[in-house]
């Protein structure tokens, strides 16, 4: 199957508590903190629109009503945005499954990403390994000179994901938190809740012999999860406006 973003539904994970920066905006969920005049989460959706995504589900939780109110006006032309709120913490994998089941649709592929980070990668290129019928999912990796803040990805020479490794100093390829999955693969996810992608979903799938590939990029990346990185958001958006729908 040739991957097509026209038949991909994106789920943006925006339900976390944002504990490391909550004191900076106690009345907002972390992805709704503004940069360049718009919530960071809206910039994520605008990036998806530029990439050809037309259906977006926001997986909400903490202060989810703030997100729901903002996106009820459908502020991004050409993208239908809906919300699926967790009533209890489900973890990243559990939040994605809840959103997917709420949608009651079966796109060819699902795209999962975080609402508090962005990687300006070419998503059609990232999804390209799905042209191989043996590949069931793709994990986006970002090459960095210093990976000490992040877990890293280990893959073989053919690009097949082997493991998620612990944080360590030095250069490497980090997990960007962006994943493509064939719809049929969702039935293979563990039933446990809460469910984490890194510690629950991926080890389970790899143990079952599911082929997941790593697609690496050196595209601009920002995670606004710390006060230091949040302070970079304004400049990050401004420098990459040509990659985002207006």
* Domain CATH number, residue 42: 3.90.550.10
Answer whether residue 18 shows pLDDT above 70.
Answer: no
Average confidence (pLDDT) over 77-86: 97
The pLDDT > 90 percentage for the chain reads 87
Query: Is residue 51 assigned to a domain?
Result: yes
For 49, what's the count of Cα atoms within 13 Å in the CB-facing half-sphere? Answer: 18
Confidence label for 73 from pLDDT (cuts 50, 70 and 90):
very high
Answer whether residue 246 shows pLDDT above 80.
Answer: no
Q: What is the reported pLDDT for 123?
A: 97
Query: Is residue 159 assigned to a domain?
Result: no
Average confidence (pLDDT) over 120-134: 96
The pLDDT tens digits for 197-245 are 999 999 999 999 999 999 999 999 999 999 999 999 999 999 999 999 7
Rounded Cα distance, 165 and 97, in Å:
24
Answer whether residue 154 shows pLDDT above 50.
Answer: yes
C-alpha 194, offset from chain centre: 17
Query: Is residue 145 assigned to a domain?
Result: no
Answer whether residue 17 shows pLDDT above 80.
Answer: no
Query: Is residue 126 assigned to a domain?
Result: yes
Rounded Cα distance, 199 and 163, in Å:
10
Query: Is residue 203 assigned to a domain?
Result: no
The domain in which residue 239 lies consists of 5-135+177-198+222-243
Measured distance between the N- and C-terminal CA atoms of the chain, rounded to whole angstroms: 32
Rounded Cα distance, 83 and 65, in Å:
10
Confidence label for 149 from pLDDT (cuts 50, 70 and 90):
confident
The pLDDT tens digits for 157-210 are 999 999 998 888 999 999 999 999 999 999 999 999 999 999 999 999 999 999
Q: In whole numbers, what is the pLDDT of the chain averaged over residues?
A: 94
Q: What interhelical angle do 64-71 and 40-50 show, nearest 10?
A: 50
Query: Is residue 146 assigned to a domain?
Result: no
Confidence label for 2 from pLDDT (cuts 50, 70 and 90):
very low
Answer whether residue 19 shows pLDDT above 80.
Answer: no
pTM: 0.95
Rounded Cα distance, 68 and 79, in Å:
15
Query: Is residue 214 assigned to a domain?
Result: no
Contact 19, 10 (CB under 8 A): no
Confidence label for 12 from pLDDT (cuts 50, 70 and 90):
very high
Query: Is residue 188 assigned to a domain?
Result: yes
Q: What is the reported pLDDT for 104?
A: 84
How many domains would you assign to the chain? Answer: 1
Answer whether residue 1 shows pLDDT above 50.
Answer: no
């Amino acid at each position: 199957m040739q991957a097509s973003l026209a038949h991909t539904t994106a789920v943006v994970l925006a339900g976390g508590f944002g504990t490391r920066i909550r004191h900076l905006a106690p009345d907002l969920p972390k992805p709704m903190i503004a940069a360049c005049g718009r919530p960071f989460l809206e910039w994520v959706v605008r990036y998806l629109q530029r990439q050809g995504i037309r259906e977006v589900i926001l997986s909400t939780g903490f202060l989810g009503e703030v997100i729901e109110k903002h996106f009820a006006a459908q502020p991004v032309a050409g993208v239908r945005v809906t919300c699926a709120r967790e009533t209890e913490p489900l973890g990243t994998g559990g939040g994605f499954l809840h959103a997917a089941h709420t949608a009651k649709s079966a796109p060819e592929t699902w795209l999962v990403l975080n609402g508090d980070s962005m990687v300006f990668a070419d998503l059609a290129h990232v999804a390209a390994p799905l042209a191989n019928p043996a590949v069931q999912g793709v994990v986006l990796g970002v090459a960095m000179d210093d990976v000490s803040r992040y877990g890293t990805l280990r893959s073989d020479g053919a690009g097949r994901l082997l493991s998620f490794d612990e944080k360590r100093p030095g250069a490497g390829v980090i997990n960007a938190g962006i994943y493509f999955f064939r719809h049929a693969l969702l039935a293979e996810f563990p039933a446990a809740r809460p469910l984490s992608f890194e510690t629950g979903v991926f080890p389970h799938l790899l143990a079952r012999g599911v082929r997941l590939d790593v697609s690496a990029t050196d595209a601009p990346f920002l995670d606004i999860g710390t006060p230091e990185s949040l302070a970079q958001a304004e400049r990050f958006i401004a420098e990459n406006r040509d990659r985002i729908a207006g």
